[in-house]
Amino acid sequence: MGSGPPGSLLLLLLSSLLLVLKCATGESSFIIDTVGLSILPKDNVQSGTEVKIRCDARVSSSNISQLGYLFEFMRDGVEIHTANTTEDSTYYEINPARAVDSGNYQCKVSVKNKRKFSNTKTLDVKGLQTPILHLNNSTPYESEEFKVTCSAPDEKGSLTFNFYKTFRDGQPQRIKKQRSTNNFLETTVTLSHIGDCFLSCDYEIILVSGPTSSNVSNEIQVKVKELNIVPYMTILPNDIYEPDIIEVTCKVQIHLADIEIFLLKDRAVLNRTTGKPLIHRFRPKPTDSGELICKTEWRNVQKENYKTLKVKEVFSKPQLHLEPVDVFEGERFRLNCSVKVFFPQMFDPKTLKYHLYKDGTQLISSATYVAVADRNRNGIYSCKVEGTRISTSFHKESETVTVKAKVPVSDPVLNVVGGKIFVGKGFQLICHSHTGTFPIVYTLFTHNGKKMIRKVSRSEDQATFDVPPIHKTSELKAFLCHASNNPRTPSKTALGQKLLNSTNIIEPTSKPQLTIQPSQDITEGQSMKLVCSVQAGSRPINFTWYQESNGVLASLSTNKLEGYHSMSNAHKKHSGKYYCTSSNPADEPKQSEPVTVEVKMAGWKKALIIVFCFILLLILFLVIALKTRLFHFKRKRTANLSVKSVSTKLERLSLTQAEVIDPYAATPTMMGKSVWSDHVSGSESDDQNSSTLPEKQAEPEYTEVQIKDADPTKAPAKQSTGNIYSEVRHSQQERTS
């Protein structure tokens, strides 16, 4: 029993140690279950209320005794507060809450490497603080700047302030709007009206839900006083003549130490003073006539007054005249300086003094200058006239006159564009003068009396004329070109005669003529010349010869009006039509009329043919005579043989008829044999009789003869037929025929 308590204590110690070892050796784990956001006291409060934004995290873990939490509070997605704690909840306090604190709030909880967002809740803070207006001057002068301050001490953030003025029984008029990064704005305003008005202000703040305006501030009455600083202006004397001295005075009725007074004319400041009247004395010129302005300025307030200044001229501004206006070198010119006197009673016009100047240097003390124009007298001229009034000298100067003598036009020159003229074709002529002041008028008279005019005003231009064709070289002599730039002098002339020497005139060839030498009737073996000639045409001339059947024969370039092509040993093939063409640089080929050439046979050939024909006829005659003689000889011999043959055949024929009449005398076989044997023997006899003939006898021919009774009434009851072969001989002449 005594050992019980110590045993229990030991058991408890061992259990605790076992638990610690388990925690030390076991794996830790956790998970963020939820993150909650709440707004206290509520999400819709009035401005000035204390508000707490609370964030709670619920985490499940094992083998972790304590966790660290990082809380981040965000408004409209922008971080506004963070907190590190071991507690699972914290809060963000807004005290007091203003409208600028309105928005969508959210909380993010991070535990080690895990994080989780809460839900989003909207806080709406109602109401804006009424602003407070302060002025540093409630009785300003018209257009005087003074300071105004509009503030909302309890508000936060960027505010836009508006300032208003309100007349009695009127609506507020905004006079200024300005943005501030603070809860107040100090600025300046000016009021141009004279009298009472009330000033006030308000402000705008931009929330998530949109812009919101505050209530209007307190109103402050402002009394705007008139600032009588309109200047009083005088100009003495009233009537002003040159060269009077005038006095201009500008002043104000009230005394202000920092007031400025200005005297202006044509936006130029003539004089200026500060805090005292302005007095300005000067000797005006007639050109100074116009409006003088007197202007006062105090701070940002300006007033002005004006008067018209009129200066009367005693005499006019000098006028310098050049006669003639367009003066040419070598001509006399005159410069005359003159004035008009308006008030002769003011001074004696005879006291006027004239001075002429060239390039700023006095040339002569006179109103007139006469000289002959040349390059040395070119320049800028002016004149000055001096007068005296009331013992005061004054002068006036004229405008400048530039004298630049023009250069007379030089003798023109005629040139052909391209340097070539093709007779029969149009061309272009240039009439040009090397010197002469522009503009220069060129007039061209052509060979046919046509008149053409060109006006050249620039050096890069030329007087180019499109000229109709000429048909003869001599027509160029009729061309004339006149150049003129001074109507007071005769024009200069260029003659077309010079074109004949300076221009390559190309005349097309006339129609060529083809002639055959010695004549168109050529004998074989002879030589002939094909001569092609023209009556006119520029050299060189190209001649080309053609034969219609063979094409081009030859070509020749020559400086003569004719050319020839030689052909030796003429043949019959050279007969035919020939023609030639002519051309030159005018590029207008011409063709001649065709010429027919006939190459006749040579004389010795004709004689040879005659002899040959004579011999041939002689041989033919002899052959015919020989054949005729031989024919008569053969005919005679043939006639003798024919008589003998006829007698033999008559005997054979009689025998045959007898055999036919008596059919029973012999058998058909015997009869046939007899006939054949007689025929053969007759043939042999004939051959023997004719063996003496010099010509070869023809082979015997046989014919079949059918014999019938002449009187059929006498014929026996049985009729028979038999074949009779008869030899027929023909003479050689008959065969030949």
**pLDDT tens for each residue of 97-113:** 888 888 899 999 999 88
User: Could you tell me if 88 and 61 are in contact, meaning their C-beta atoms sit under 8 angstroms apart?
Assistant: no
Q: Check residues 401 and 500 and name the one with the higher pLDDT.
A: 401
Structure tokens at 72: 């981040």
Residue 634's pLDDT is: 82
Q: Was domain 231-312 assigned CATH 3.40.50.10860?
A: no
Angstrom distance (rounded) from CA 15 to CA 72: 42
| Cβ-based neighbour number of residue 422 at 10 Å | 21
Helix (H, G, I), strand (E, B) or coil at 390: coil
The answer to whether residue 637 scores a pLDDT higher than 90 is no
Class in CATH terms, 412-505: mainly beta
> Quick one: which of 550, 502, 558 has its CA closest to 534?
558
The answer to whether residue 6 scores a pLDDT higher than 80 is no
Structure tokens at 320: 């310098």
Of 259-268, 515-524, 562-571, 636-645, least confident by mean pLDDT is 636-645
Indicate the DSSP class of residue 609: H
Mean predicted confidence (pLDDT) in 473-492: 91
Residue 65's pLDDT is: 79
Of 179-188, 207-216, 413-422, least confident by mean pLDDT is 207-216
Residue 320's pLDDT is: 96
Of 208-212, 296-300, 382-386, 640-644, least confident by mean pLDDT is 640-644
Residue 642's pLDDT is: 61
CATH fold for domain 319-403: Immunoglobulin-like (2.60.40)
Q: Where do the structural domains in the chain lie, given as residue ranges?
A: 29-126, 132-224, 231-312, 319-403, 412-505, 512-597
The answer to whether residue 250 scores a pLDDT higher than 80 is yes
Strand partners, 554: 545
* Percent of the chain at pLDDT exceeding 90: 49
**Residue 662: half-sphere exposure toward Cβ, Cα within 13 Å:** 8
Residue 658's pLDDT is: 42
Residue 641's pLDDT is: 64
Residue 8's pLDDT is: 55
Mean predicted confidence (pLDDT) in 492-514: 87
What is the chain's Cα-based Rg?
Answer: 76
pLDDT band at residue 522 under the 50/70/90 scheme: confident
Enclosing H/E stretch for 22: helix 4-25
The listed range with the strongest mean pLDDT (168-172, 421-425, 482-486, 622-626) is: 482-486
Residue 365's pLDDT is: 94
Q: Which residues contact 707 (CB under 8 A, 6 or more apart)?
A: 656, 657, 660, 721, 722, 724
The answer to whether residue 136 scores a pLDDT higher than 90 is yes
Residue 17's pLDDT is: 55
Name the pTM for this structure: 0.46
pLDDT per residue over 306-358, tens digit each? Answer: 999 999 999 999 999 999 999 999 999 999 999 999 888 887 888 899 999 99
Work out the burial of residue 208: count CB atoms within 10 Å of its CB; fewer than 13 is exposed, 13-18 middle, 19 or more buried.
exposed
Class in CATH terms, 512-597: mainly beta
pLDDT per residue over 7-45, tens digit each? Answer: 555 655 655 554 444 445 456 789 999 999 999 999 899
Residue 717 vs residues 11, 157, 297, 661: alpha-carbon distances, Å: 190, 177, 190, 13
For residue 41, say if its preceding peptide bond is cis, omega within 30 degrees of 0: yes
- Whether 512-597 and 29-126 are alike in CATH topology: the answer is yes
User: Could you tell me if 622 and 614 are in contact, meaning their C-beta atoms sit under 8 angstroms apart?
Assistant: no
Of 54-58, 244-248, 694-698, least confident by mean pLDDT is 694-698
Dihedral (Cα; 282, 288, 291, 295), 10-degree rounding: -40
Query: Could you name the CATH architecture of 29-126?
Result: Sandwich (2.60)
Distance from CA of residue 97 to its chain's centroid? 73
pLDDT band at residue 389 under the 50/70/90 scheme: confident
Angstrom distance (rounded) from CA 430 to CA 422: 16
Angstrom distance (rounded) from CA 120 to CA 620: 151
Angstrom distance (rounded) from CA 485 to CA 194: 75
> Quick one: which of 91, 141, 155, 94 has its CA closest to 118?
91
pLDDT band at residue 66 under the 50/70/90 scheme: confident
pLDDT per residue over 642-684, tens digit each? Answer: 655 555 554 554 444 444 444 444 433 333 333 333 333 333 3
Q: Which residues contact 459 (CB under 8 A, 6 or more apart)?
A: 438
For residue 439, say if its preceding peptide bond is cis, omega within 30 degrees of 0: yes
| Cβ-based neighbour number of residue 125 at 10 Å | 23
The answer to whether residue 117 scores a pLDDT higher than 60 is yes
Residue 385 vs residues 340, 350, 362: alpha-carbon distances, Å: 11, 12, 13
Q: For residue 503, which phi and psi values (nearest 5 degrees)?
A: -125, 140
The answer to whether residue 707 scores a pLDDT higher than 50 is no
Average pLDDT across the chain, whole number: 83
Residue 652's pLDDT is: 52
The answer to whether residue 163 scores a pLDDT higher than 80 is yes
Class in CATH terms, 132-224: mainly beta
